[in-house]
Amino acid sequence: MKIPKKIEKDNREYIFEKIYPNFIMYKDSKLGTKTCFKRQEIGLIKEIKVSQEGRLKGINGIRV
């Protein structure tokens, strides 16, 4: 997906700076501070929700 050049999050406007493998760096337009967001936080990737039953079934096969 295309990475947005400007985003608004928590009533602040951020401008795109740089891409890293695990996150994307943005710069606050007013303060100048740099902040990193994961792709899920920006909305580029939708979160996968796993039910509680699915987690329990995966754990049952492990012996301690």
The predicted model gives 30-46 an average pLDDT of 89
Alpha helices (H) along the chain: 39-42, 52-60
pTM of the prediction?
0.67
pLDDT band, very low/low/confident/very high, at 56 (cuts 50, 70, 90): low
Nearest to 42 by CA among 26, 21, 20: 26
Look up residue 47 and give its DSSP letter.
P
pLDDT at 32: 94
pLDDT at 55: 61
Share the mean pLDDT of the chain: 81
**Distance in angstroms (rounded) separating the CA atoms of residues 56 and 36:** 33
At residue 41 the predicted structure's pLDDT band, cuts being 50, 70 and 90, is: confident
